[in-house]
Structure 1
C-alpha cells in the first residue's frame, strides 16, 4: 500500500471516530427533547440520520473505492452538514443556541482532509453562512418558530449580536487554524515516520536476505535466550532440521552434543564472559567429526546488552587442506632425500649380496655360520625391496604425464581387481565387489598407470587387513568433490573393507612414509598412493573404526 493510501485510510478512520462521537451526542440530544416532539426534535433526528449516512458513505467508499474523488465527496457532505447545522442553530435560539459547537466540530474534522488551507476555506464558508444566518435573524428575514424573551432581548441589541457573532467567528478561525496546522504537522511527521518505517522494513528485508544467503552460520538470541535469527546455513552446518526456530529457547533447540555453544551463550548473557570469544570447536555431525571456528559476542546498543550473536563456519576442509599441504611438503622433501639415499645404499648393498652369494657357493658352511650367511642374503633382499619402494616413492613426484591424458576409471578398477585376485596374498574365500554402474563411464584426467598403482596399493592394503575366511572388499562410487582450490571437480571412488580397522589416533600417521600397522610392512604403500593421487591433482581420505573396517576414498580430477 502506498503512503497516500495509508494516509487516506487513517484520515477516514479518524473522521469516522469523530462522526460517531457526534452521532451519539446528537442522539442524546434527541432523546432529551423527545417529550416535546417539536420541529427541533425532527430536525435533530434528521441531522442524526444524515450523520449516520455520512459515516456509512465514508465507510463504504473506503472499502469499495468507487471512481469518485474523496475530496469532492467530503466537500459535498460537509456542505449539506453545515446547512443542517445552521438550521439546527437557527431553530434552537440562533446566536444563543448551544448547538453552535456542531459547526466547530465540522470545521475541526475537516482538518483531517484538507489540512491548514482547506480548513481555513471550510471555516470561511462556515463563517459566511453563519454570519448570513445571524444577519437574517437580526433583520427578521429568518423568523423563529417560537421566539423566547431571551432571544428577542439579545437580537434587540445590535452590539450584543455583533460581538457574539464576532467571538464565535474568531473561535471558529482559531480552531480551524490550530487543527489545520496540527493536521499538517501530523501529516509531515507521519510521512517522515512512514518513510523511515519503509526504510527500516527494506533494511530488515535486506539484512534477512544477507543473513539467509550467508555461507557461515549465524544465530542471534535475546537476553532470555530466545532465538531471534537462525539462518539456513546454521541449520545445515549443525545438521538440524530446516524448521523455523524464531522465538524458541536455544537450549531447547540444540541437542546435548552442542552443550558447549549453550554454555558460551549463557556465560555471555549473565555477564560471566564480557569479551568476544574466538575459538575452534570439534563436533560430531552425522557421525563425522567436523571442525568449526566460532565467534561469540554480546549484542549491545547504547552501552546496554540486549542479546548475543554466534557466528561460525565449518573449517574441516581448511584443516584438511593445511594437513594436506604439510604432508605434500614433507613427501616432496622426503622424495628428494629418498632418491639420493637409495642410490648411495644400493651399490654397496649389491656388492654385499653378491659377495654373500659367492661365499655361499664356494664355501660349504654348516651350522650357525651357514645360517648367518643365509640371513645376510635374505636381509639384503629385504633391503633391496625397501630401496625399490624408496625409488618408486621418489619417482611418483616426477612423472611428466601425471595430469595429461584421460581414461575411464571403470576399466582400470576391473584390471586391478583381476590382478589382485591372482596375488599370493589374496585369500581364496575373500570377496571383492565392484559396485559401479556399467553404463556410467567415469572419465578422469591423469596417468592411467599411476591410477592403477594407487588402487593396487589400496586394495592390497585392504586384502592384508581383512579376515581370510569372511573378508569383503567393496569398491563403490562415492560423493564427488573439488580440489583444495575449489576450481576442479573431482570424482570420488571408495575402497571399503570389513577388516580390523585402524585406531583413531593412528589415522593421521598412516600416509607417512615408513609408518605401518602391519608386522613386516615397509610403510610405503599408502604414502606412495597418496603422493601419486596428489600428482594427479587429487587426494585420498580415510575413515576407519576399530573392529568395523576402513574406507579409503580416492578423489581424481574429472575429465
Structure 2
C-alpha cells in the first residue's frame, strides 16, 4: 500500500470533512485563546503586555481564518491550502504555548488537534512530518526558555525547572505526538477506505438502479403493477406502446379498462397466472390478443406491494399461426385436387372422345346430336376446371424477368373494359409512380386478373374497382366497393373450393395465394376505408434487389 499518496481524491471524500474542519477550527481557537485571555486578565494584574500580545494573536487568527475560508471557496487546490493552514496552526500553537507560560503551560495538547487534522486530509508521511514539526517547535521552545534565550511568560509565579524535568516533559510530549500521529493516521486511513467502499457501493447501487430503469423502459413487453384495489400504479414504455395509453392517462384507472376479461383478484388476494391469454382493449377501442403472466411484487420486508402483469401483443403471432394453418389446408387441398384431377381427366377424355365419334354418324337424330353436343361442351368445361385444379395444386416454378407493374395494370384495365362482367364497374387507376419487379409476368398477370374478376363479381349492382400501387411500400393492390367479406369467413377466402357464389369454383383467390407464395411474397386482405375489401400483394425485397442488379 502506498502511504505517500493522498488517501482519496480531494473532490470526492475530503470536502465533507473539510467543511467541518473549517467550521470547528475557529471554535476551538476561540475556546482556548479566549480561555487564555481570560486567565491572563484575572492574574496578570497591571501587566497588560501579555494581554496585548494575546489580542494581537486573536486578531491575526481571525483575519487568517477569513482569508483561508475565502481561498477554500474559490480555489480547487485544497491540498496546498491545507498544508499552509497546518503550518500556520503549528506556529499559532507554539506562540500560544509561549504566551501561556511555555515550560509551565498545559496547552501543549493543541499540537494533538493539529496532528489529528493532518491525518484526516493528508498522507501518513505528512502526518509524521507534522508530528516531527510539533516536536521540534515544542522542544525548541522549552530549550530556548531553559537556556533563558526566551523569557517564561506567565501570570503565575514560576519556580526554576531542572534539566531532568525539561527533558522528561519534551520526551513525554514527543512520544505522545508520534503515537497520536500513528494511531490517527491508521484510523483515518481505515475511515477513508470505508468511505471509499461506501461511495463505491453507493455508485454501484445507483448504476444498478439506472440499469434497471433503462431495462424497464426498453423492454418490449408491457409491464403493469396494480394495487390491491385492481388499479394501475405503474406502467412502462412497452405497455404504453402496446396499449396506446400514457402513464398519466391510465394511472389509477381500473385494470378492467385494459383487460375486461382478466381476473386479478380472488376475494382480497391477488390471483397469479403462470401463462394465459386474454383480450386487450387499446386506446382506439380495438381488440387484440395478448399473452400474459402475473406475479406478486413484494417489498424488502416481505409485505405485498402489488401484482405485476407482464404481457405481449400476440396479434402478429396469431396472424402467422393463421397463415400456417391456411397453408396446411391449402397443401392438403392441393394434393387432393391433383389426385382427383388425374383420376377424373382420363375417363373424361374417353367420354368426350366417344361422344364425338358418335356425333360423326350421319344417321344420328337431331335431338340426340344436340344432347351429345351438350355432353361435349360440359366435358370441355370440366376439363378446364381440372386444368385449373392442376395449376393451383402444382404451379409451375416462376420464370423470373423484369416486369413493369404499372404497365401490366394498364394492360389488364384495357382487357377488362371489353369484358361483360365489368360493364357496370367504374375502373380507376391509382398509381403515379413506376414499380419494377423481378417476377413471373404471366403468373402475376393471372393473379391480378383473378383479383379484378373477384372484385367485379362481388359488386353485383355495380361499383368502383381501383387498381394501384402503394405509395409507402412496394406493393400492388386491387380494391372494390362491394359489401365486404364477413368476419366469420375472412380466414377461409383463400381456401381452395371455398366460394360464396352459385357458379364459382373457389379456386380464384386460392390460385392468387399460391402464386404469391411461389414468389415468397405476401397477400393481405384489408377492409377498405370506404367499404369493400382491398387485396394487397407484397413482393420480397429480393424482387427489387434483383431488378436493380439487372439494371
TM-score band, normalised by the shorter chain? 0.7 to 0.9
Task: Tell me, in whole angstroms, the C-alpha distance in 1 between the residues paired with 2:103 and 2:273.
Answer: 76
- Aligned residue for 2:292? 294
Task: Tell me, in whole angstroms, the C-alpha distance in 2 between the residues paired with 1:240 and 1:189.
Answer: 47
Judged with a 3 Å threshold, the aligned counterparts in structure 2 of structure 1 residues 138 and 381 are, in CA distance, closer, same or farther, namely: farther
Contact 1:510 1:516 (C-alpha < 8 Å) held by counterparts: yes
Q: Where do 1:249-288 residues align within 5 Å?
A: 251=251, 258-259=258-259, 272-274=270-272, 276-279=274-277, 281=279
Judged with a 3 Å threshold, the aligned counterparts in structure 2 of structure 1 residues 553 and 288 are, in CA distance, closer, same or farther, namely: farther
1:358-394 deviation per Cα after TM superposition (whole angstroms, max 9, x unaligned): 79x83659xxxxxxx98x9879967864663443243
**Please, what is the CA RMSD of the aligned residues?**
4.4
1:293 match: secondary structure: strand
Task: Tell me, in whole angstroms, the C-alpha distance in 2 between the residues paired with 1:186 and 1:386.
Answer: 98
2:493 matches 1:513 = no
Shift of 1:451: 0.8
Query: Runs of 5+ in structure 1 lacking a partner?
Result: 366-372, 481-490
Judged with a 3 Å threshold, the aligned counterparts in structure 2 of structure 1 residues 259 and 253 are, in CA distance, closer, same or farther, namely: same
- Aligned residue for 2:236? 230
Contact 2:341 2:389 (C-alpha < 8 Å) held by counterparts: no
> Structure 1 residue aligned with 2:70, among 31, 56, 59?
56
- Aligned residue for 2:24? 21
- Aligned residue for 2:522? 539
> Structure 2 residue aligned with 1:39, among 47, 53, 57?
53
Contact 1:499 1:548 (C-alpha < 8 Å) held by counterparts: yes
Task: Tell me, in whole angstroms, the C-alpha distance in 2 between the residues paired with 1:535 and 1:474.
Answer: 22
- Aligned residue for 2:334? 335
Shift of 1:30: 6.6
Shift of 1:473: 3.1
2:190 matches 1:176 = no
Contact 1:504 1:544 (C-alpha < 8 Å) held by counterparts: no
Task: Tell me, in whole angstroms, the C-alpha distance in 2 between the residues paired with 1:380 and 1:285.
Answer: 61
Shift of 1:503: 1.5
Contact 1:386 1:522 (C-alpha < 8 Å) held by counterparts: no
- Aligned residue for 1:462? 455
Shift of 1:474: 4.9
- Aligned residue for 2:45? none
Q: Where do 1:461-480 residues align within 5 Å?
A: 461-466=454-459, 468-477=461-470, 480=473
- Aligned residue for 2:446? 453
2:409 matches 1:416 = no
Task: Tell me, in whole angstroms, the C-alpha distance in 2 between the residues paired with 1:4 and 1:496.
Answer: 78
2:60 match: secondary structure: helix
Task: Tell me, in whole angstroms, the C-alpha distance in 2 between the residues paired with 1:517 and 1:478.
Answer: 32
Shift of 1:402: 1.4
Segment drifting more, 504-513 vs 281-290: 281-290
- Aligned residue for 2:388? 392
Contact 2:429 2:468 (C-alpha < 8 Å) held by counterparts: yes
Shift of 1:43: 0.9
Count matched residues.
Answer: 516
Task: Tell me, in whole angstroms, the C-alpha distance in 2 between the residues paired with 1:90 and 1:379.
Answer: 140
1:165-213 deviation per Cα after TM superposition (whole angstroms, max 9, x unaligned): 6665555444433331122112223333444455555566666666666
2:388 match: secondary structure: helix
Contact 2:100 2:153 (C-alpha < 8 Å) held by counterparts: no
Task: Tell me, in whole angstroms, the C-alpha distance in 1 between the residues paired with 2:499 and 2:452.
Answer: 16
Q: Where do 1:480-519 residues align within 5 Å?
A: 480=473, 491-519=474-502
Task: Tell me, in whole angstroms, the C-alpha distance in 1 between the residues paired with 2:459 and 2:298.
Answer: 59
Shift of 1:44: 1.8
Q: Where do 1:129-278 residues align within 5 Å?
A: 129-149=137-157, 152-153=158-159, 156=161, 168-169=173-174, 171-199=176-204, 216-217=220-221, 219=223, 226-227=233-234, 230-231=236-237, 234-239=239-244, 251=251, 258-259=258-259, 272-274=270-272, 276-278=274-276
Judged with a 3 Å threshold, the aligned counterparts in structure 2 of structure 1 residues 286 and 346 are, in CA distance, closer, same or farther, namely: farther
- Aligned residue for 2:398? 402
2:422 match: secondary structure: coil
Task: Tell me, in whole angstroms, the C-alpha distance in 2 between the residues paired with 1:309 and 1:126.
Answer: 65
Task: Tell me, in whole angstroms, the C-alpha distance in 2 between the residues paired with 1:141 and 1:256.
Answer: 95
Judged with a 3 Å threshold, the aligned counterparts in structure 2 of structure 1 residues 451 and 127 are, in CA distance, closer, same or farther, namely: same
Task: Tell me, in whole angstroms, the C-alpha distance in 1 between the residues paired with 2:27 and 2:175.
Answer: 27
Shift of 1:507: 0.7
Contact 1:277 1:297 (C-alpha < 8 Å) held by counterparts: no
Segment drifting more, 456-465 vs 18-27: 18-27
Task: Tell me, in whole angstroms, the C-alpha distance in 2 between the residues paired with 1:200 and 1:506.
Answer: 56
2:109 matches 1:85 = no
Q: TM-score under structure 1 normalisation?
A: 0.76
Task: Tell me, in whole angstroms, the C-alpha distance in 1 between the residues paired with 2:380 and 2:323.
Answer: 30
1:294 match: secondary structure: strand
- Aligned residue for 1:326? 325
Q: TM-score under structure 2 normalisation?
A: 0.77
1:404-448 deviation per Cα after TM superposition (whole angstroms, max 9, x unaligned): 3231211122222222222211143x32222112xx332223211
Task: Tell me, in whole angstroms, the C-alpha distance in 2 between the residues paired with 1:492 and 1:292.
Answer: 29
- Aligned residue for 2:422? 426
1:553 match: secondary structure: strand
Query: Runs of 5+ in structure 2 lacking a partner?
Result: 1-5, 42-47, 545-551
Task: Tell me, in whole angstroms, the C-alpha distance in 2 between the residues paired with 1:165 and 1:260.
Answer: 88
Contact 2:526 2:534 (C-alpha < 8 Å) held by counterparts: yes
Judged with a 3 Å threshold, the aligned counterparts in structure 2 of structure 1 residues 353 and 306 are, in CA distance, closer, same or farther, namely: farther
